Structure 1
Amino acid sequence: MYENTTHLSFFPDKRGLHPASNPSIFLRMGLFEKKFTIVVACKANITRSAYLHGYMEQYLKENYPYARKKIRIKSAGVRARRGSSANSVVKHVARIHGFSLKTHRSDPFTKKLVKEADVILVMEQWQKEELLERYPKAGDKIFRMMEYLWHDDPADIRDIPDPTGQNTNDFEEFIEVAHAEVERIFRELGREGII
């Protein structure tokens, strides 16, 4: 864990000790703190996961500002093509809720992203199954969003349907569920001591 410390040997602590001789210095310096990485995912990474990515970052900023150094949010699509913009309706909805998806570009899943993730939150059961088939070793970190840290009746866990191309009511329902889930998940992460 401490093998590669030669590049830090010119940073002695107050007693003149090099960090390599006192590993706890690394912890105080924050060099071994890994951010807890949440990947939100949907089919194409242009509507649900795009919105949730932006909203989670905004929610952290407003409600847990100290946790932004502890948590990293990413998003991807189970069947995404790289580089697509967010859905125009969801961009508009994001602006209404105080954040922008103007620079969002879709990303597909990669082995690297799966390895980086501490948890992967998908919208639908088929997405979970597809990712488990592609990345079987990641089975302990892939959840439908509503089942992650869920403590109530398992019968209440459901998919979060795709509102793309649907009417305004479908988008409103998605936003209501998305906001409630983000609030619940961050509250539970707080209870778990992650934030």
Structure 2
Amino acid sequence: PRATAGAAPLTLAGPTPYPGGTLISGGTLVASNVEALGTGDVTDNATLALNTGGDFTNNIGGTGRVEKSGDDALTLSGANSYTGGTLISGGTLVASNVDALGTGDVTDNATLEMNTGGDFANNIGGSGQVVKSGDDALTLSGSNTYTGGTLISGGTLVASNVDARGSGAVTDARAG
């Protein structure tokens, strides 16, 4: 297990093959490689900053926040239960299931791609775009204030309330 505490961020840059879990108890843990946190669950009680691309399959729990930065596309595919919210400041963050972003609010200042179906109840704010991809039907049921517009590239997107789709243009790019 790894732990971090203190004001200065701790950066893990290389692949780490350990199978155990990771505990973030304070400060910021930066992963600049999708394999930097091994294969175990992550308990995030502070800030987990993901400055990488690829597929992050670890489950993330705890009371902390997850931040996505950098230009690459990063997929969160774990069954995540963290409660501190999600900040997207660069690139694309792809959620491959409705639980991938935990239960907190999402601040999308880049691109949030929802490649999943189901009911997504988290509130989405920020200046970024929301993209619906994949074949499934996704319902947005939060009170959303994002301003970057909505792109539907696959499946079906349902807004369950008047505030669910944020503001900005809605573009349907599905073929046919």
TM-score range, shorter chain: under 0.3
* Higher share of residues assigned strand: 2
User: Could you say which structure has the larger radius of gyration?
Assistant: 1
| TM-score, length-scaled by structure 2 | 0.24
Q: Which has the higher contact order (CA 8 A, sep 6+)?
A: 1
Query: TM-score normalised to the size of structure 1?
Result: 0.22
Give 1 or 2: higher helix fraction: 1
